[in-house]
Structures are given as C-alpha cells and as structure tokens.
C-alpha cells in the first residue's frame, strides 16, 4: 500500500515517531519501522510517556496489519544541540528529520516540531527561530529540511508525502511550496502557518489545492499563530476544556498530536470538514499582524520586536495586567520611532495594531473564562517558593556571622592604630553597621515562610474536604 494512502492514525504514528531520538552511532538505515521502534524505546523517556504508551499499543496490536509494516527507514538526521546529534559537528540548528520508504518506491519525509521550551538549548534553536519564521524570515531549519528532502526523498519512482507537526508542519509546508514541480503531497497537523506574504500566487493556490492537507485540533493555538486560510479539517480532542485547563492545567494539550481518538478504521473519531468561525476570526487578526509586519519588514528588528511584543501582550492580558500590555506597546513604539526611525504613518499603524490587540485579547479571555465558570484576574498570579525563603534566610544568617567576625576584628584595631589612622578604622566600622538590618530581613523571611507554609497546609486540607 502506498505511503500516500495512509489512514489518519498511521499518519499520526509517523508524526509521533518523529519525536523519538535514535542513537547517533546506530546502524538504522533500511530497518523496518518496528525495528526502529525497538531501538528507540530502549532510550529512557524518549519522546515522553504518552507517546510511548500510544506507540507501544499500536505496535503490539495494529502494526502487522497496517500499511506501515511495509515501511523502512531511508535516512535519519538529528541536528539537536545535545548528545542525540548525528551530524558530526556539521549543525546544531535543532532540525530533526526522518525519511521513510516502502517496497513500491514511495517515500515520505517527516519533520519534528519544536521541543521543550524549558530546555535552554531547545529554546535557543527552536523557539527563537519560530519568531523569525513567523515574520517571513527564512530560517536554517527550513533550508535543512529542503536539503533533507532533496538528498533522501526526491527522485523516487513512486509518490512522495511530506509530514510535520507544529514547527515540523511549517518545515513540511516550506518544502512543499518550494518543490511544486515534483508533484509532492503534504500532510500538516497543528502546523505553525507559513508566512503568507512570502508566497507567490502559485504557492498560495497550491496550499488551497488537493495535494496539501492542513489538519488542526479543536483548541490548538499554534495553528492560529498566523494567517492560514486553508484549514481542511478540525478534529475534536478527547477531553473538554474544563478538564485540560482545570485538572491538567495544560493549555497546550490540544496541540499535542496524541490528544485525539481514532475509530476501528483508523480515522479520526470526531471531526468537521473545513474551518470554523473562531478560527476565521483568529486568522483575520493574524492577517492584520502579517500586514503590519510586511510594512516594517525592511526594518527586521522592528518586525521581530512586534512579533515578540504580541506574545508578551497576550501573556500580560491573560494575567490580568492590562497596564503592562500598554507599557509594552509604548516601548515598541518608542523603539520604532527613536532607535529605528520608522515613518510617522508606520508608528501610528503599530499603535493602532496594539490597541486593537489588547481590546480583542481582553474580550476573548473574558468570554472564555465566563464559559468555564471562573473569573478573569485583575492582578497577576503570584508563585512563592517557600523552600527558597528558608534558603535565603540561611544565606543571610551566614553573612551575618561573617560580618560579626569582621566587626570583632575591626574593634580590635582601635587599640592598635595611632590617632592619625583611627579615622580609617572608624570608616570601616560604619560600613559594617548595617548588621542589625540583617536580623530584620532574616526574621521577615522566616516569618513569611512559616505563615505561607501554614496557610498552604490549611488550604490543602480544605481542598481535600471539598473534593
């Protein structure tokens, strides 16, 4: 069976596998997908627990009868800035790609999306370049994805399918629109949209055509982070908003490729064809941002500042700090006006954009919170690490001890110096006279930690009673 005739679940399996690392020195070319899985699952926490469980179930119960049983690995590249890198020092851009083939000489390239932003190395390679790609700047991972396609997939006798999730979807789309003459197909799931204004008329039409499939999960935010008038299907996730925002506290849950269900035929269990009103409104907002970015694109630092500030404004509004959102707007305008000296009309356009953004995002969060039965915050949430309070108190105690020793030594000098030098000793004595304030700070930190610890224990107890 052709790689281009895979069902929804089999495509999902390919996307999940793209998040698994392989040993950089392992001989993996030509091995079956099951053999690749057996190699990958020996690496601890490879791809995360949820992916492991879903892949394990698939290979135990469905693999033998699926089209993927005829698939083998053609090539694997990992340019991550960690021990999984197999480029021999050639690149550490964060790009990861799998090339698969079958017995009919069909081929597929699957591109990995952004990885854990809490990891500084991944943040530097994946997330910073996401902003650049979002404003139409060609990034290194896009070029490497195209080189991967050219070297390991292009030229087969059969059909070609490009796949990607999240940022991997952006890479797959980039390769697709730049190789239309090859008649390739593409399947993108919750993809970061490619920058619309960087495309030719032919490329835009190709994204609206039959060879390109853009699938999104209900509630996904990444696929709404750009102008994307080509959504083909919206899939309902396996949990409602109250569950993943409440108990799970994970607003990105709808983005994960693992968050949906399939029927016995491997098709999405619940979905709707086409886009939705919410997505159309969101896409229109992103079109406004794209138009503004296009105006200032020649001044790249301003374009990047606007993209970065947009995220910060949304975060500020979400936390209930509207004043911070307006402050961010003013800083961007000040930067554009004074540092980059953009035109007066452009400065006004930037101000109008942020005013509308603040208004639209505030309205959005108020309505969403109402539906969830909660309230919209008017102050930011505070997170206090009690253990760190005790730790800081201990550090100040150590400093106090050292100051006390120093004071004793200074006191002894009063009996050893002559009258002309006593002013120096007196100056040193005055400099260490702040030690009484150390006691105040130590007492404050310890008292705050005890009170917070006590109140937290009481709140946890009440929560258990309520539950």
Kindly indicate the confidence band of residue 110, based on its pLDDT and cuts at 50, 70 and 90.
very high
Q: Do residues 72 and 31 lie in contact, with contact meaning Cβ atoms separated by under 8 Å?
A: yes
- Local structure of 1: helix, strand or coil: coil
Question: What are the C-alpha distances in Å from 389 to residues 23, 380, 401, 451?
Answer: 42, 20, 19, 11
Is it the case that residue 281 has pLDDT exceeding 50? no
The whole-number average pLDDT for the span 227-234 is: 89
Q: Do residues 162 and 176 lie in contact, with contact meaning Cβ atoms separated by under 8 Å?
A: yes
How far apart CA 113 and CA 124 sit, in angstroms, is: 14
Q: How high does pLDDT run on average in the chain?
A: 82
Pairing of strands 271-273, 185-189: unpaired
- Extents of the domains making up the chain: 3-280, 298-371, 386-466
36 dihedral zone (left: phi>0; alpha: psi -120 to 50; beta): alpha
- Local structure of 20: helix, strand or coil: coil
Residue 429 in tokens: 């004595």
More confident residue, 21 or 325: 21
Phi, psi of 260 (to 5 degrees): -130, 175
Phi, psi of 48 (to 5 degrees): 95, 160
CATH number of 3-280: 3.40.50
Say whether pTM exceeds 0.75: no
The whole-number average pLDDT for the span 364-376 is: 55
Give tens-digit pLDDT for 153-194: 999 999 999 999 999 999 999 999 999 999 999 999 999 999
Bridge partners of 73, per DSSP, are 100
To the nearest 10 degrees (0 to 180), the angle between helices 422-431 and 386-413 is 170
Is it the case that residue 368 has pLDDT exceeding 60? no
Q: Which helix (H) or strand (E) holds 17?
A: helix 8-17
Find the DSSP H helices in 110-181.
120-122, 128-134, 140-152, 167-177
Give tens-digit pLDDT for 294-345: 555 555 677 667 766 776 777 677 666 777 788 888 888 887 777 666 677 7
Among residues 157, 154, 141, the alpha carbon closest in space to that of 180 is found at 154
> For tokens 């008038």, what's the residue?
229
Residue 361 in tokens: 């995002």
Find the DSSP H helices in 319-385.
322-334, 344-371
Q: Do residues 173 and 143 lie in contact, with contact meaning Cβ atoms separated by under 8 Å?
A: no
User: In 10 A of CB 443, how many CB atoms?
Assistant: 12
């Amino acid at each position: 069976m052709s790689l281009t005739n895979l069902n929804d679940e089999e495509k999902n399996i390919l996307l999940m596998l793209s998040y698994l690392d392989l040993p950089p020195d392992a001989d993996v070319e030509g091995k079956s997908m099951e053999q690749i899985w057996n190699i990958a699952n020996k690496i601890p926490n490879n791809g995360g627990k949820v992916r492991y469980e879903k892949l394990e179930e698939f290979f135990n119960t469905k693999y033998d009868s699926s089209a993927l049983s005829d698939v083998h690995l053609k090539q694997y590249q990992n340019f991550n800035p960690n021990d999984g890198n197999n480029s021999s020092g050639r690149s550490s851009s964060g790009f990861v790609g799998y090339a698969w083939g079958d017995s009919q000489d069909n081929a597929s390239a699957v591109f990995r999306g952004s990885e854990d932003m809490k990891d500084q190395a991944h943040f530097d390679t994946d997330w910073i370049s996401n902003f650049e790609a979002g404003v139409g700047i060609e990034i290194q991972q896009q070029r490497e994805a195209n080189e991967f396609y050219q070297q390991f997939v292009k030229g087969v006798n059969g059909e070609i399918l490009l796949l990607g999730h999240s940022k991997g979807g952006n890479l797959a789309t980039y390769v697709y629109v730049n190789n239309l003459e090859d008649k390739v197909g593409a399947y993108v799931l919750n993809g970061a949209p490619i920058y619309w204004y960087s495309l030719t008329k032919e490329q835009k039409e190709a994204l609206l055509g039959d060879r390109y499939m853009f699938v999104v999960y209900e509630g996904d935010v990444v696929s709404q982070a750009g102008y994307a008038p080509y959504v083909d299907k919206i899939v309902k996730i396996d949990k409602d908003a109250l569950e993943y925002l409440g108990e799970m506290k994970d607003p990105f849950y709808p983005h994960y490729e693992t968050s949906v269900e399939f029927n016995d035929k491997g098709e999405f269990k619940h979905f709707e064809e086409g886009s939705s009103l919410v997505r159309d409104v969101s896409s229109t907002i992103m079109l406004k941002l794209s138009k503004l970015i296009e105006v200032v694109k020649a001044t790249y630092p301003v374009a990047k500042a606007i993209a970065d500030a947009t995220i910060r404004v949304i975060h500020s509004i979400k936390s209930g700090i509207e004043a911070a959102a307006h402050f961010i707007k003013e800083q961007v305008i000040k930067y554009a006006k004074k540092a980059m000296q953009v035109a007066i009309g452009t400065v006004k356009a930037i101000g109008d954009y942020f005013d509308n953004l603040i208004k639209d995002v505030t309205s959005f969060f108020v309505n969403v919170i109402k539906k969830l039965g909660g309230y919209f915050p008017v102050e930011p949430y505070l997170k206090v690490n009690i253990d760190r309070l005790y730790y800081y108190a201990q550090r100040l105690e150590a400093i106090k001890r050292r100051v006390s020793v120093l004071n004793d030594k200074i006191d002894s000098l009063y009996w050893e110096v002559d009258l002309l030098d006593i002013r120096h000793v007196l100056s040193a004595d005055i400099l260490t006279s702040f030690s009484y304030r150390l006691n105040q700070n130590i007492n404050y930190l310890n008292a705050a930690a005890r009170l917070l610890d006590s109140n937290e224990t009481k709140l946890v107890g009440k929560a258990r009673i309520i539950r």
